[in-house]
Structure 1
Amino acid sequence: MHSSQQSCPFCAGSMITDPQFFVGRREELDFITSRLVNTQPTSINVVGERRIGKSSLLYHFFQTYEQRVQGAGKNPGNYVVVYLSLQAAQCRQETSFYQAVAQALINRPVVQGNPALATPLQAGTLDRNGFSTAIEEWQAQNVLPVLCLDKFEELLGKPDQFTDEFYDNLRSLMDRNALMLVIASYRNLDVYKRKYRFLSSFFNLGQVLPVAGITEIEATDLIRLPENKIPGATAALSSERQQLGLAWGGRHPLLLQLAGLWLWEAQKQNRPDEWARQKFELEAQRVPHSGVTMRRLSRPMRLLLWLPMKLGRMARFVGDKLDDTSNLIAGTVILIVAILVTLKIVPFEELLQRIKDALGG
């Protein structure tokens, strides 16, 4: 059963803020929760390509952390989690960053009702020392502030405003278990450390949480929205269109949302599936690494681009975490050398040396 009269449950292009329509990421949410409730909280770098769902993940954790902490057997009152997008205008300078963090913390009801937490954050203009002092007073109250910082590249791209000393101070608070960060970025922080020539140990941050596609079960749950999310609700799409949505979107959350959106529009307007497919592919081309643009290429050309990229990414996993351009170069070298070995032109020992040279370069 499905209903063409219900509102569209698919959200394509913006952060999901309604927890009723957030689907999946159970492993990622459990990962963040476990690092939060450890005896020594561990900060996390959430890494994933653009539009893969990092913002929605951080925001949903912010919305649901109290239930998750309680489910882990801990007292939610010992934690205050806030979400902050660093694209906001008030985060362009160091002091304004501290003010934005302080205001986000003060806005939480548990802080408003506790002067011992609110007062240290209201001491006029917060500078680096003032912010550290306030956080240390929270630690004396046995309360851990957890900052979910989205779009962290916005800070990293301003090394004249956010210096090594700024990052050193954050690292000091983290090392003393007075502060936990959950940072979302496109690449691992050590990539930015090299790019902007930072020296701070901050960039050896806790643990990395890679965010990619969702699981097959989660993808099925998403395309069946709002079923299982709203009591008594049925899937917005027919069974046939659910299967189309899964075929088009795969396990990429945004592509699934786009597929669901246009299939729902086609269902509502009594249009053919081909109309929905064209609309979907037009928008899906703007999704990074979605594969839609690559599908338009010939099969040999797709293989020529895809295989070196995959090999290069394997090299990054083993070695130096190269960027995509380097992935393509390293992967191409590996592929060519492998072909030479297969044709018995290059000995296997030389293959290993060539791969080592590619990764070292």
Structure 2
Amino acid sequence: MLENPFTVRGTIQNPSDFIGRKAELLHIVTRLKTMQSCSVVGERRIGKSSLLYHLFQTGNERLNDSRYRFVYIELTDASAQTVVDFLQTVLQALDLPTDVIKDDNTLIQNLIAFDKVIKTLVAEGVKVVLCLDEFEGLFDNPSEFSDQFFNQFRTMCNHQRLAVVTASRQPLEVYSLEKKLTSPFFNIFSIAELGDFTPPDVEQFIAHYQAIAQFTPQELDFINRYVEPHPLKVQIFCDMLLQWRDNGFAWTNDEMLDKTTKVYKQFLGGEHDWRKLSRTKSFFSVEGIGEKLALIKAARDLVTGQ
């Protein structure tokens, strides 16, 4: 039985498995070159966390600049539920002293102490980028993360002492209005909207995993006919196709597609019906996948010297 590479549903951890999103990454990287902040916005499970984590992993290479220090924090994590914990987590990730942030300090005292430590890095030429995932988490605790907190971070961003890249389902201004926050912090972000895969993204995804999955021409045709370009749906569809294969193709085509749409609902919520799928354009050709695989193999052989 072949390995099934499509079972992981969480954040992509291996940078070589990250697919597509070239336009969005270019948008973000271009702005980070001048330390401008960005907000990644998209529906749930569209790949925001994977994009932010990939930026954290590959940002220096993409910027071609070793002076950048990237910090990745999930704001729903227990280590980011208070201002003290959040500031200490950032400093710890940067290998800076955390004891300047104290529980018995006032908010202003801790923010000033944090800014002072960050300034020491800036003076050394370091460029700090905070990748803040699930940014909605900060709005769940308005008594901690108040206008004062956001105002200080706006000041630090304006003076290029740090840049912030966030991920959220909606633009940050929407949340600030809901929570009646007046800080101009939420106006500094350039928005990078994250949507479905492009056709080249889908083709790259299939080609990337073809060596493991070994889809037949008939299976590739089935994928091309029925897959939807939502990143998680592409992964789920390929997973279900391998399960179908392992069961000796005992399901009918309609049964396979019905089972798949049930898994879509499980992970994405809402209603899904493959019968309503309407697409006028194929995502890839079988010949194109073969050519792409040949190029990937040639590149690997060149690196390994084989």
Looking at structure 2, the residues matched to 282 and 12 of structure 1 have their Cα atoms a distance apart, in angstroms, of 17
Amino acid at match of 2:11: M
* DSSP-derived class of the 1:208 partner: strand
Note the C-alpha offset of 1:294: 9.0
* 1:272-311 pair list within 5 angstroms: 272=251, 274=253, 275-288=255-268, 292=272
Looking at structure 2, the residues matched to 184 and 254 of structure 1 have their Cα atoms a distance apart, in angstroms, of 17
Distance 1:268 1:294, change over 3 A: closer
Aligned length: 270
Deviations 1:238-270 (A, max 9, x none): 232233334433211010010011111222332
Distance 1:83 1:249, change over 3 A: farther
Looking at structure 2, the residues matched to 226 and 284 of structure 1 have their Cα atoms a distance apart, in angstroms, of 20
Deviations 1:285-337 (A, max 9, x none): 245487615967xx9xxxxxxxxxxxxxxxxxxxxxxxxxxxxxxxxxxxxxx
Amino acid at match of 1:23: I
Aligned residues of 1:155 and 1:162 also touching (Cα < 8 A): yes
Distance 1:290 1:210, change over 3 A: farther
* 1:256-335 pair list within 5 angstroms: 256-271=234-249, 272=251, 274=253, 275-288=255-268, 292=272
Distance 1:122 1:248, change over 3 A: farther
Distance 1:246 1:252, change over 3 A: farther
* DSSP-derived class of the 2:209 partner: coil
* 1:225-244 pair list within 5 angstroms: 225-227=208-210, 233=211, 235-244=213-222
Looking at structure 2, the residues matched to 217 and 244 of structure 1 have their Cα atoms a distance apart, in angstroms, of 17
Amino acid at match of 2:172: L
Distance 1:294 1:186, change over 3 A: farther
Amino acid at match of 1:34: T
Aligned residues of 2:69 and 2:126 also touching (Cα < 8 A): yes
Amino acid at match of 1:197: K
Looking at structure 2, the residues matched to 48 and 267 of structure 1 have their Cα atoms a distance apart, in angstroms, of 33
Amino acid at match of 1:277: L
Q: Which has the higher contact order (CA 8 A, sep 6+)?
A: 2
Q: Does 1:162 align with 2:145?
A: yes
The counterpart of 2:58, out of the listed 64, 73, 76, is: 64
Deviations 1:187-237 (A, max 9, x none): 01111111111000001022011000111011122133324xxxxx35532
Q: Does 1:186 align with 2:169?
A: yes
Unmatched 5+ residue regions in structure 1? Answer: 107-117, 228-232, 300-361
Looking at structure 2, the residues matched to 49 and 67 of structure 1 have their Cα atoms a distance apart, in angstroms, of 28
* DSSP-derived class of the 1:182 partner: strand
Aligned residues of 1:220 and 1:246 also touching (Cα < 8 A): no
| TM-score, scaled relative to structure 1 | 0.69
Distance 1:85 1:249, change over 3 A: farther
Please identify the structure whose Cα radius of gyration is greater. Answer: 1
* DSSP-derived class of the 2:181 partner: coil
Looking at structure 2, the residues matched to 294 and 226 of structure 1 have their Cα atoms a distance apart, in angstroms, of 23
Q: Does 1:250 align with 2:228?
A: yes
Note the C-alpha offset of 1:103: 2.0
Aligned residues of 2:101 and 2:113 also touching (Cα < 8 A): no
* DSSP-derived class of the 1:142 partner: coil
Amino acid at match of 1:98: L
Looking at structure 2, the residues matched to 223 and 194 of structure 1 have their Cα atoms a distance apart, in angstroms, of 41
Match of 2:86 in 1: 97
Looking at structure 2, the residues matched to 178 and 149 of structure 1 have their Cα atoms a distance apart, in angstroms, of 16
* DSSP-derived class of the 1:187 partner: coil
Match of 2:73 in 1: 84
Looking at structure 2, the residues matched to 273 and 55 of structure 1 have their Cα atoms a distance apart, in angstroms, of 35
Aligned residues of 1:223 and 1:257 also touching (Cα < 8 A): no
Deviations 1:329-353 (A, max 9, x none): xxxxxxxxxxxxxxxxxxxxxxxxx
Aligned residues of 2:88 and 2:101 also touching (Cα < 8 A): no
Distance 1:96 1:173, change over 3 A: same
* DSSP-derived class of the 1:285 partner: helix
Match of 2:290 in 1: none
| TM-score, scaled relative to structure 2 | 0.81
